[in-house]
Amino acid sequence: MGATLVIVIGSVVVAVVGAIFFVRYATLRAQKRKEVEVQGKVRTLLDKGQFQQAALALVNLGRLKEAMEILKKHGDFRGAARIALRTHDYKLAAELFERGEDFEGAGNALLRIPDFRRAAVMFSRAKDHDKAAKLFVQIGDLWAAADEMVAMGQLKEAALIHRQLGNDLMAEKLMGQYYKSQGDMILAAQSFSNAGEHMLAGECYQSANRFVEAARAFQKAHRPELAAVCFEKAQYYSEAAAMFEEAGEHARAAKIYQLIKDPSGEIKALVGMGDFLTAGHLAYKLGRKDEAEEILKLATPADRGYARCCLLLGRILEETGRKDEALKYYGLFVEKAEPTERNKNVFAFFASMFEKEKVYDLALKALRKMDLHGLLDAQGKTALSRLQAKMEQLFTSSEMPAISPEELVVPPRLLKRYDIVRKLGEGGTSIVYLVNDKLLKRNVVLKILSNPTLPTHVAQEYFIREAQIVASLVHPNILTVFDAGQAGGRLYMVMEYLDGKPLDAIIEERKALPLKEVVNMALQLGEALAYAHEKNIIHRDIKPGNVMVMKDGLVKLMDFGMAKALDIHTDKSLYICGTPDYMSPEQEAGEDLAPSSDIYSLGLTLLEAILGGLPSARGAVAAREKRLKALEKAVIPEGVKEVLRKCLELEPTKRPQSARMVVRALAKAAEEAQN
């Protein structure tokens, strides 16, 4: 019986074990089948782009890590973070919430680590400044807590914390903001002043109509233009005028000095704004002839009222017994001014004076200009005929000096070959005509040294130098010289006639030019300038007025009258040549120049074409600051801006050393922006 029992028990055990094994096997097969089904479903969902449903299926299967990876891969960081929370991986959850820009969720996850500082930062980013402030207080970071209070508008409470921390300046600034928010501008201004925030203090005083205090605050903030306005409103006119001068607003300063009858201040302000005529005239009226002379001699042909400056300067020189020097300035007046009904008697007087002084060329110039405008009477016409005959006699006699810098008429010898078509213009040293070459049957330009504003020997040197330099430069983008020499005692030059428009006239007419057009011109101009530099020639007067644009788009660089050959003229010039608005700082200072000076002027020329004009200021450095600000505001590619910034570097060695490099970089930047 015992053996039978053992057999029965054994059979039962085997049956139970078999049953357990079978159930286990069936369960595993069912799970495997389900996994395969889910895996297939996941693949199908992913193929359809339904990644969130795919992740949910994996979560239901307990495969959280795989679900998290799918969500991360598809950019659902918030969903991934919620799965990380289920795995109690709070650090990972916080990182994922932050990546998903759920800063509130990141903060709550960090609290469970706990990491209170990072949690506070997250709450701050979530704009929950109250919770962030409390956490910062809890960890003892009172400064950060105060910042959160400021963000909530609790300025007074934040100021108290900073006061406790010993940050009195910050506390005063916050109290200033608090008082300003409450509309108490006087207390706000006082707090801002205590904090050293003088600009904010000035604005608050100004809002409260406390203009004197506002002006003092703006002075401390180094904003003279704002201080000037407030002083003017407070009727503190002397202080207002001084501030306007400091701000460079000389015209407004001059008006105030005139109002308060301060002629010395008015003269100074007028000189500061470049109105040498009005300043000189005022000094002359006050009997300060030496000062008037000094002021009037600052004027250049480019300045407003230059002709009248010469007239008044001539009168002062004549009154002080310097007749010969006076004649020179009277001559400049005749050259630069145009006769009208109002001033025809002045021209007639000078014609008579010049004839008496045997300065026949200027007498003839005055009469011819009057005749051109129909202002000569019968007596004047007789004088004109007499002088013309006298000049013809001088041209053929030995009395004619070797060089007559004041001679303004075309010598008869040249008239045998060239017919004058019209006068093209006059500069500081020469007069230019369009003439027809009767021998070669073509129009050319005739340039004659005229009444120079520079000393005679300097003007002659520059004129000859231009002819020699341009003749040595054979380039498709540089004006060609056909002939040069001396006739009738005057230097002359014959050049190709360019049927186009100067770039300055194009800018005046069209304002800002398209970038593509500027780049096309720049490439040609850069090649011409690079070629000149390779020949050791510095132009020294690059500006839109010296760039001719032909009808077919061809660009020609002109006027090498100020150019300098480095291998010949290595000494520093006694005269600062060039056009002030386009000079480099070193050129304005009269220093030795390198090709980098032309690069600076090239940058300004291109900038003017792009902007449609250039802001002005007295002095190259001050003008540069204004122009850089205008460049930053311009709606042009950043790469183009960077090229122009490099051209306008104050330090010559920091500028690009090749004009070709500049224009190619400009073209590349423009092309990249377009692409």
pLDDT at 30: 61
- pLDDT digit string, tens, across residues 173-203: 999 999 999 999 999 999 999 999 999 999 9
Domain boundaries, the chain: 35-114, 412-496, 500-674
Distances (CA, A) of 281 to 161, 268, 310, 314: 64, 13, 11, 12
Q: What contacts 392, CB < 8 A, 6 or more positions away?
A: 412
- On whether the CB atoms of residues 539 and 552 are closer than 8 A, the answer is no
pLDDT at 599: 93
Give alpha helix (H) positions in 447-496.
456-472
- pLDDT digit string, tens, across residues 298-318: 887 777 788 899 899 999 999
pLDDT at 287: 93
DSSP 633-651: HS-S-HHHHHHHHHHT-SS
Q: What is the CATH number of domain 500-674?
A: 1.10.510.10
pLDDT at 204: 95
Measured in whole angstroms, how far is the alpha carbon of residue 553 from the centre of its chain? 26
- In angstroms, the CA 468 to CA 529 distance is 17
Class of domain 35-114: mainly alpha
Q: Which three-class secondary structure state does DSSP give residue 439? A: coil
User: What number of residues does the chain have?
Assistant: 675
Tokens of 338: 């145009």
pLDDT at 288: 93
> For residue 82, with 0-12 CB atoms within 10 Å meaning exposed, 13-18 middle and 19 or more buried, which class applies?
buried
N- to C-terminal Cα distance for the chain?
102
Greatest CA separation for the chain: 171
Tokens of 494: 């014959």
- On whether the CB atoms of residues 374 and 347 are closer than 8 A, the answer is no
pTM of the model: 0.49
Q: Is 363 left (phi over 0), alpha (psi -120 to 50) or beta?
A: alpha
Class of domain 412-496: alpha beta
Q: What contacts 574, CB < 8 A, 6 or more positions away?
A: 458
Q: At what angle do helices 142-151 and 129-139 cross, to 10 degrees?
A: 170
Q: Which residue's structure tokens are 């903060």?
A: 107
Residues of the chain with pLDDT under 70: 1-3, 8, 15, 17-19, 22-23, 25-43, 45-47, 49, 391-409, 427-429, 450-462, 488-489, 561-578
